[in-house]
Amino acid sequence: MRIRPGRSTRPRTRIRPTHDTALDGFVVAVDRGRYTCAIGDRVVTAMRARELGRRGVVVGDRVAVVGDTSGDEGSLARIVRIDDRASILRRSADDDENTVEGRQERVIVANAEQLVIVSALADPPPRTGFIDRCLVAAYDADIEPLLCLTKADLAGPEEVLAYYADLDLPYVLCHPDRPLDELIEALRSRLSCLVGHSGVGKSTLVNRLSPDADRAVGVVSAIGKGRHTSTSAVALPLPGGGWVVDTPGVRSFGIAHVDPENVLHGFLDLLPASVNCSPNCDHLTTPGCGLDALVAAGGADPRRLTSYRRLLSSRTGDTRPSA
């Protein structure tokens, strides 16, 4: 018998398919091809089954898991099914869909019910342009937004709240030396995702909400720009029920994935006036735009219209100053 180099002469063993009972799981972390899943009161490490093909698994996914689901050290289960997602929160690296960065779309979390936009009132100062981008992404994904204003001991919220007065945006104030009762109640029994610039106190909030989170807490630099302190999204259970997804601090929140017609849905205070526009109104240069008439009549804050048009222009690579 001729033996080819590198080939064993041992008889092949045919691997028979397993018929393990699939257990429902919830993906709480993703790290280099390994997925941490919560199954009941156990935490299980799993890999994606080959039959799933190229379909990605992200934090928040509801999945079916088979194999070794003991959760013991060294055990490895398999994810064999991903349930349909109720919502998908995405962001891109850029606003302009014509750039490479704009086409790099990233799923942040699946099945989130609430997007908690964390913004410091000082050190670093609030950036309404970033908040506006998050609102556009939240409404596009059909996720409820909640504005969480931190470091309320350093500055008052009046200026930020005045900017969003016509939007009726829900918000909570957080002080470092006061209980987080209002925020805890807003998160109870829900899957919420926290997003915010580095240094706004997001990880500090998570550590207070979930004492076992053990997330790194960074120090804000003297120039007011925060350091990145979390490097991957992770879902953490809340003592009162519900989950909170802590995400890495970001410097930008691109919306190239949002259809231009849907950007206006992130500005609900301006949206009703669009019915007065001509059918082909671009809301930028078209004469007689209903949004201009709304602002001229005192029905909306002109800064809101400026922000909307800045975001809309950025979709085409316009280089006007960003918010």
Mark the binding-site residues, compressed into ranges. Answer: 150-153, 196-204, 277, 281, 283, 289
pLDDT (tens digit, 9 = 90+) per residue, 116-161?
999 999 999 999 999 999 999 999 999 999 999 999 999 999 999 9
Q: What is the pTM of this model?
A: 0.83
pLDDT (tens digit, 9 = 90+) per residue, 189-221?
999 999 998 889 998 899 899 887 654 443 333
Enumerate the β-bridge partners of residue 148: 118, 172
How is residue 71 written in tokens?
Answer: 């959760």
- Gyration radius of the chain over CA positions: 23
How far is the C-alpha of 108 from the C-alpha of 60, rounded, in Å? 9
* pLDDT at residue 317, as a whole number: 62
What single letter denotes the amino acid at residue 193? C
Least confident of 50-54, 62-66, 103-107, 201-205: 103-107
Section 278-298 average pLDDT: 94
* pLDDT at residue 96, as a whole number: 55
Mark the binding-site residues for Zn(2+), compressed into ranges. Answer: 277, 281, 283, 289
Mark the binding-site residues for GTP, compressed into ranges. Answer: 150-153, 196-204
Section 166-194 average pLDDT: 95
Three state DSSP letters for the chain: CCCCCCCCCCCCCCCCCCCCCCEEEEEEEEECCEEEEEECCEEEEEEECHHHCCCCCCCCCEEEEEECCCCCCCCCEEEEEECCCCCEEEEECCCCCCCHHHHCEEEEEECCCEEEEEEECCCCCCCHHHHHHHHHHHHHCCCEEEEEEECCCCCCCHHHHHHCHHHCCCEEECCCCCCCHHHHHHHCCCEEEEECCCCCCHHHHHHHHCCCCCCCCCCCCCCCCCCCCCCCCEEEECCCCCEEEECCCCCCCECCCCCHHHHHHHCCCCHHHHHHCCCCCCCCCCCCCHHHHHHHCCCCCHHHHHHHHHHHHHCCCCCCCCC
Asked whether residue 103 carries a pLDDT value surpassing 90, the answer given is no
How is residue 68 written in tokens?
Answer: 């070794």
pLDDT (tens digit, 9 = 90+) per residue, 243-271?
999 988 776 788 888 988 899 999 999 99
∠263-187-79 over CA atoms, to 5°? 80
Average pLDDT across the chain, whole number: 84
Q: What percent of the chain has pLDDT over 90?
A: 63
Confidence of residue 92 (pLDDT cuts 50, 70, 90): confident
Asked whether residue 5 carries a pLDDT value surpassing 70, the answer given is no
Q: Which domains does the chain have, with CATH numbers?
A: 23-82 (2.40.50.140), 88-246 (3.40.50.300), 260-314 (1.10.40)
